[in-house]
Amino acid sequence: MWQNLIETLDKLGEVYDNLTALGERKRNALVVVDMKTLSNILDEEQLINAKIQKLEQRRIEILKGLSKSNTTLTVDTKAKDFYRTAPSAAVGKKLIQLHDRLSKSVDNAVKIRDNNRVLAQCALDAVQGQLNRLSGAAVEPTYSGRGAGVVTHKKNFDFKA
């Protein structure tokens, strides 16, 4: 089971590295507002997220199986401490290396996701501003109860004609 855990952590690291690379491609697509590329990236992102879910479920099952045979474990046991209980020092060292790699990969993916979220919001705000400009909308100098700007639309058509 320890070898299965090594393989699963290694695959998780690879998948998160792929997600990070995809996030960088997504950032480039957001910057230039390339909707076709962005759509393809979102499809790829869904596949990667499905792989991550599957691998995480597998990792949890393996850890549950390993924890049943180790009576010294508690809820507060850290992952690295658990890995040190591996049958050999080499396996424990490999698990700790994979754990550190996975932690860094997840952190990178989260940072890129957060940055992309900001870029996406800015792009949506720019599109909304352009639509408001085209429709003749004006933003009032006050804010609504929710903290958003109050937008009024002037009537360009006379419906009584």
Q: Residue 16, exposed/middle/buried by CB under 10 A (0-12, 13-18, 19+)?
A: buried
**Alpha helix stretches (DSSP H) within the chain:** 2-32, 35-68, 79-83, 89-135
Confirm whether 139 is domain-assigned.
yes
The 10s digit of each residue's pLDDT in 4-52 is 999 999 999 999 999 999 999 999 998 888 889 989 999 999 999 999 9
Q: Is residue 35 part of a domain?
A: yes
CATH number at residue 132: 1.20.58
Q: What is the pTM of this model?
A: 0.76
Lowest model confidence (mean pLDDT) among 27-31, 61-65, 86-90, 123-127: 123-127
Tell me the percentage of the chain whose pLDDT exceeds 90: 47
pLDDT at 48: 96
The answer to whether residue 37 is domain-embedded is yes
CA distances from 93 to 60, 98, 104, 109 (A): 20, 9, 17, 24
pLDDT band at 137 (very low <50, low <70, confident <90, very high): low
Please indicate, yes or no, if residue 160 is contained in any of the structural domains: no
Whether residue 161 lies inside any domain: the answer is no
Average pLDDT over residues 110-135: 84
130 domain-assigned = yes
Domain count, the chain: 1
In a domain, 34, yes or no: yes
Q: Which domain range does residue 68 map to?
A: 2-153
Any domain includes 158: no
The one-character DSSP state at 144 is -
- Give the three-state DSSP class for 18: helix
